[in-house]
Chains A and B, each alone.
Chain A
Amino acid sequence: MSMIQGATGDWEVVIGLEVHAQVSSKAKLFSGASTEFGAEPNTQVSFIDAAMPGMLPVINGKCVEQAVRTGLGLNAKINLYSVFDRKNYFYPDLPQGYQISQYLQPVVGEGRVTVDLADGSAREVGITRLHLEQDAGKSLHDQHPSMTMVDLNRSGVALMEIVSEPDMRSSEEAGAYLAKLRSILRYLGTCDGNMQEGSMRADVNVSVRRPGEAFGTRCEIKNVNSIRFVKQAIEYEARRQVDVLEDGGTIDQETRLYDTDRGVTRAMRTKEEAHDYRYFPDPDLLPLELDPNWVEAIKQSLPELPDQKKARFEKDFGLSPYDADVLVAEKENAEFYEQVVATADPKLAANWVITELFGALNKAGRGIDDSPVSAEALAGLIVRITDNTISGRIAKEVFEIMFETGKPADAIIEEKGLKQVTDTGAIEAMVDEVIAANPDKVADVKAGKDKLIGWFVGQVMKASQGKANPQMVNDLLKAKLLG
């Protein structure tokens, strides 16, 4: 939906995202408490995270490294000097009464991400900045009739806030950007990208305008936790804004929430203008200064990222851009594929991974990590196709058994006697048998109905229970009937 059709003409939607990605680290940003997901309430809380009197922050170097690694992965400028500020506001799950964040001087500056769209086109999305900050705890409003319960396990966990430019023009682009960002972070190992567990959340800024005009007033939809919801929220919000404007109304700059049950956005009760965060440099911390050599060393250690990998898959393996894109989107898939092509034909492998394996996994509701068919096993199967041990059709049969039993292809081929018959004598005998049994069809062929050859092939294959080499059957039939 590049344009929204309104009653009074077309509208363009303008979208920018602020993504909060949890840094992959064992301990929190400023304390030694664990970041593990799903623990009992308040069991992963240090006195620092609970903001007990006199407690002081000491920064976790790993989190800095992860932020820098991410910045480098986003082709962004690394700021060798950055500052931690306090963002002051009161909330029960913010024990200090302030969040330690980076305001004027973030650790990472401008960068860019290339987003591939379904129609094969690509779009560049600018990254404004990336900064490190503390996560808040969790307020649970449904545990007690009159009280809100507070769990501080997340309090102080390191987040990277990644702010994009308002460069997206449709929900599809925003979804694709988020998917791409997630993919890059997972490749880098700086965020696990687990959106169900809240490892990535997005604040979505949406505005609409007439094409070519200045940006409209934006609304910020807070804390959306899936790519699907981001897209839905944008579509709803853009339409809402168009309706308001076309009715002669104006958009209030406000913070909204996406109600996933009802599929609508609604204004938050606490108005944004009530906030005055009173940012100032945290006097408990010194400025963060990075050694350029250290940054360079991280740069040298970056893994191959999705864009590079995609290009390599196209170039080295002759894959189509679409296939390459599908394979590189998830790091684990790409790794799986690369293990398969270590011994198997690349194009065949791409087809098998994308169509058969992903299809079967999808149906079984399983991920690549617990695929019953290992990369090695799949490669073993594909090799049996290329060395003519089995036909592609038999291979599908074998694959189904592999997926169910976890047995290797060779064992199944052996056990079930599925090995392709390539013995000319044996095939010829079957061919002769079929010719002898169908004199009328033989006559038709000889009368010029060449296409019936295919029928004969089918009959021979059937007689061989699919095991005869189809090419050989074809050649023999042609020789005997047409030759």
Chain B
Amino acid sequence: MSLDKATVLRVARLARLKVRQDRLEPLAAELNNILGWVEQLNEVDTDDVPPMTSVVSMKLRWRDDDVTDGGAVDDVLANAPEGENGFFAVPKVVE
């Protein structure tokens, strides 16, 4: 499996990373280098091996259905780059 420029661009879009045109080729080479290296995993037959779900042997713990949080709009918004009237603000989305 080898990444071309178009794939790099598609992946960058998915990851919301702006990549300059002249960076596409070198980035493709870097990623191919790493992906080529990890492909050694194909040497191992894993057909009957279950994937790891967690390294801790315990059951998922549940919380009670109690309202214990919220009501801190100032703290929630304190770090927002932009916002007003208790809202976060982003460039207008048209849908």
Contacts and interface: CB of A to CB of B under 8 A. Distances in A.
A and B, direct touch (CB closer than 8 Å): yes
A43 B62 CA distance: 24
A146 B69 contact: no
Interface string B57-95: 011111111111111110111000010111111111111
Interface of A: 25-27, 31-34, 40-48, 50, 58-64, 83, 90, 92, 139-141, 143-152, 257, 268-270, 276, 278, 281, 285-289
Given A25-B65, A32-B66, A61-B64, A43 B71 contact: yes
A151 B16 CA distance: 22
Contacts of A276: 14
B56 interface: yes
Contacts of A40: 73, 86
B2 interface: no
B23 to A, nearest CB: 21
Contacts of B69: 27, 31-33, 46-48
A43 B65 contact: no
A62 B54 CA distance: 24
Contact of A147 (B56, B58, B68, B92): B92
B46 interface: no
16 contacts: A25-B65, A27-B63, A32-B63, A42-B87, A44-B71, A46-B70, A61-B63, A61-B64, A61-B65, A151-B86, A152-B88, A270-B95, A276-B14, A286-B53, A286-B59, A286-B60
A289 B59 CA distance: 7
Contacts of B62: 58-61, 64
B67 A139 contact: no
A40 B90 CA distance: 19
Nearest to A149: B87
A361 to B, nearest CB: 33
Contacts of B66: 26-27, 32
A288 B90 CA distance: 36
Interface of B: 14, 16, 53-54, 56, 58-73, 75-77, 82, 84-95
Contacts of A26: 65-67
Given A42-B87, A150-B90, A288 B60 contact: yes
A143 B86 CA distance: 12
B87 to A, nearest CB: 4
Given A61-B64, A143-B87, A45 B92 contact: no
A289 B54 CA distance: 13
A213 B59 CA distance: 48
A96 to B, nearest CB: 14
Nearest to B60: A286
A152 B63 contact: no
A288 B62 CA distance: 10
A46 B75 CA distance: 10
Nearest to B57: A286
Nearest to A66: B65
Contact of B77 (A42, A59, A63, A64): A42
Contacts of A144: 84, 89, 92
Contacts of A62: 64-65
A148 B92 contact: yes
Given A61-B62, A147-B89, A285-B60, A33 B70 contact: yes
Given A92-B90, A149-B88, A286 B58 contact: yes
Nearest to A59: B62
A268 B95 contact: yes
A107 to B, nearest CB: 12
A287 B53 contact: yes
Contact of A43 (B53, B86, B90): B86
Contacts of A257: 95
A59 B75 CA distance: 23
Given A146-B92, A281-B53, A286-B56, A63 B65 contact: yes
A41 B64 contact: no
B7 to A, nearest CB: 12
Given A92-B93, A270-B95, A287-B60, A27 B87 contact: no
